[in-house]
Structure 1
Amino acid sequence: MSSHLDVRLREGTKHSHTMVENTAFMKCFLKGIVEKSFFRKLLADLYFVYSALEEELQWYQHHPIVGMMYFPELHRQRNLEKDLAFYYGENWRSQIVPSKACRVYVNRIREVGNTQPELLIAHAYTRYMGDLSGGQALRKIARSAMDLPSDSGTAMHEFEQIPTPEAKREFKEQYRQALNFLPLDEAMIQKIVDEANYVFTLNRDVIHELEADVKAVIGEHVFDLVTRQEQLGSTERASESEALGMIALDYSI
């Protein structure tokens, strides 16, 4: 029996999604203001987040519920390692440290893994569906803004096993169907939706910490001009079909 978890997640996180889109960082990003100096810091934080999430998902791959959402073709850790080597050089591991907000985010993933692993579904859904949706648009913006080489700099948003837009649409449909057939009661469904909203908050806090770096690059006046206007979020103004192309968490980001 279908739980309609995909609809519950999409509808239940619209406002949180809009809050992320209205961060100063995302407003600048969507206008093509992307510099290696702060983009690489974002990737470093994401590396710590995905490393924790994917370690937990792998640990629970045989769990009766979490295991149904185990799709290793989505995993981002290795691709992020490629990006970090590109932006920081081969010594990247010694150069990156998680931001304060990133540490909070990673600690939450570990806490969920230790206490209620079903909530990892909220973390995986929010991140990976963002990567496959709005993350693809962000990839194009980043490549253009930083004039990147054709084979470097955006591995984070490249899915070698799901390469084409058609394949991504088909995979997202498969993922939604898997969500809907999870054997969950109403109480757990609501907990997963609540956790997904918290994931958006954790993500928002991570990118908020990068605002000073953006302002340092473009100046306070331009920063204020770009970021002062609130906008209706893509998922709030979109129909159900249009929402599939949302600017999601990654950029979700």
Structure 2
Amino acid sequence: MPADSAAAGDPAGTGTLPFSARIREASWSRHQGLDPSSEDAADRSPGVFDRLFDGSLSVDDYTRWHAQQFFVYEAIEAAAERYAQDPVAGPFVFGELARRGAIEADLAFLMGPKWRSGIEPLSATRAYVDRIDAACAEGPGGYIAHAYTRYLGDLSGGQAFGKAARRNYGFDGEGASFYSFDGIASPKSFKDEYRSRLDRIDLPREDQDRLVEEILLAYDHNGAVLAELGEGLGKNPFAPKVIAAICHHMNVDHAADTLVICRGVGDRPGAESARMTGFDGEGADFAVLAGGAETAIRVPWAAPLSERAEVRPEIVRLFTESRERLAPDTPES
């Protein structure tokens, strides 16, 4: 089905199709591009969805995917709070759709209580969140576009993701609670009502067209996040739970040492503050605040690491080298 609804069910472009049908026709090709069962899937390397369904996605990579979704829903649901009483967007703000609490519970189950210290948005996720923020700031159509794309997807294909996660990892509730909508008795009826509201939306045709364009952008951003995640599948030898625990320890118990490392071997002598955001077998990642702006830096290990016990000595080495490089300006830890 073509992406342009005017070229299909509405050849004259008269707008006679219901708005929800126009959206579905316009976004069909984007939807198919993300579907592991589509014909296009045979022409690409297995991604997150493919591996989830065939059972080869590790629980660690599943957790990393889940973590990226946290940032997306955090942005959408912050906008939902602002638009709850809006005459146009308000009818599309449903408490029973909210996912952030479920994602937080899943991540606490998967990564432990220090989970927030061990997740950071990928560059594609950051771009996605920036687009959500910008679109929602432009008007109610931006919020509706991003909420529609995510939530109706969760109620549709997302249910298959939940079933696969429970089957693959033995989850019973937490771990895949993101996919459970306990407040919605009938997803089909709910989706029908949602689309009915779209068909009655009080927006001029020009704004409706912009809303459709924003939905296509949302699909593209989601695809970019999945692509970036796909590039890292199976490559980090450290479990997200381990990363979260060590990052939390460095940022809470050794914040001054983290800053020394970033000022020294991180080549950011003017850093005002710093936090460790993650690491893998090749190096550690930090976010450094300098001049009022936060930037990401990466500090390589001296040699590849693969065991948790190897991380602490390497961090001590980085701190020692940094203190020597910065001496005599660095106080004793």
TM range (shorter): 0.7 to 0.9
1:72 maps to which residue? 95
CA displacement, residues 13-34 of structure 1 (integer Å, 9 cap, x when unaligned): 0111112224631222232322
Amino acid at match of 1:4: P
Write 1 or 2 for the structure with the bigger share of helix.
1
Counterpart of 1:112? 135
Task: Specify the alignment match of 2:188 in structure 1.
Answer: 169
Asked if 1 retains the 8 angstrom alpha-carbon contact of 2:58 and 2:234, the reply is no
The structure whose residues are more often strand, as a share, is: 2
Q: Which residue of 2 aligns with 1:155?
A: 177
Q: Within 1, Cα distance between the matches of 2:210 and 2:124?
A: 22
In the TM superposition, structure 1's runs of 4+ consecutive aligned residues that sit over 3 Å from their partners are: none
Deviation at 1:199, TM superposition (A): 0.5
| Residue equivalent to 1:191 | 210
Q: Supply the AA of the counterpart residue of 1:128.
A: Y
Could you tell me how far apart the structure 1 residues matched to 2:140 and 2:200 are? 17
Give the letter aligned to residue 8 of structure 1: R
Per-residue CA deviation, residues 14-73 of structure 1 (Å, 9 max, x unaligned), is 111112224631222232322211111111111111011011011011112111211111
Aligned ranges for residues 120-131 of structure 1 at < 5 Å?
120-131=143-154
The Cα shift of 1:115 comes to 1.9
| Equivalent position SS for 1:210 | helix
Name the CA distance, whole Å, in 2 between partners of 1:82 and 1:68. 27
Q: Where do 5+ consecutive residues of structure 2 fail to align? A: 1-15, 36-40, 237-333
**Offset, 1:6:** 1.1
TM-score (norm 1): 0.79
Is 1:209 the counterpart of 2:231? The answer is no
2:76 is aligned with 1:46: no
- How far apart, CA to CA, are the structure 2 residues paired with 1:18 and 1:144? 24
Residue 94 of structure 1 aligns with which residue? 117
Q: 1:193, CA displacement in angstroms? A: 1.0
Q: Which has the larger radius of gyration?
A: 2
**Where in structure 1 are there 5+ consecutive unaligned residues?**
218-253
Q: Does 1:135 align with 2:158?
A: yes
Q: Which moved more, 1:101-110 or 1:113-122?
A: 113-122
What fraction of aligned residue pairs are identical, expressed as a percent? 33
Contact 1:50 1:77 in 2 (8 A): yes
- In 2, are the aligned partners of 1:49 and 1:105 still within 8 Å (CA)? yes
Map of 1:224 onto structure 2: none
Q: 2:243 maps to what in 1? A: none
Give me the whole-angstrom Cα distance separating, in 2, the residues matched to 1:199 and 1:90. 31
**Aligned partner of residue 183 in structure 2, secondary structure:** coil
Q: Secondary structure at the match of 2:116?
A: helix
Matched residue SS, 1:209: helix
Looking at both structures, which has the greater relative contact order when contacts are Cα pairs under 8 Å and sequence separation is at least 6?
A: 1
Tell whether the 8 Å contact from 2:80 to 2:93 is kept in structure 1 after alignment.
yes
Q: In 1, Cα distance between the equivalents of 2:106 and 2:201?
A: 34
Structure 1 residues 17-26 or 116-125, which shifts more? 17-26
Residue pair 2:63, 2:107 contacting (<8 A) in 1 also? yes
**TM-score relative to the length of structure 2:** 0.61
Residue type at the aligned position of 2:144 = I
Following superposition, the deviation at residue 146 of structure 1 comes to: 1.7
The Cα of 1:178 is off from its aligned counterpart by 1.1
Q: Matches of 2:84 and 2:19 in 1, distance apart?
A: 20
CA shift, 1:216, in A, is 4.0
> Does the alignment pair 1:16 with 2:30?
yes
Answer whether contact 1:102 1:206 (CA < 8 A) is retained.
Answer: yes
Could you tell me whether the CA contact under 8 Å between 1:68 and 1:182 is conserved in 2?
no
The answer to whether 1:144 aligns with 2:158 is no
1:83 pairs, out of 93, 98, 106, with 106
RMSD (CA atoms)? 1.7
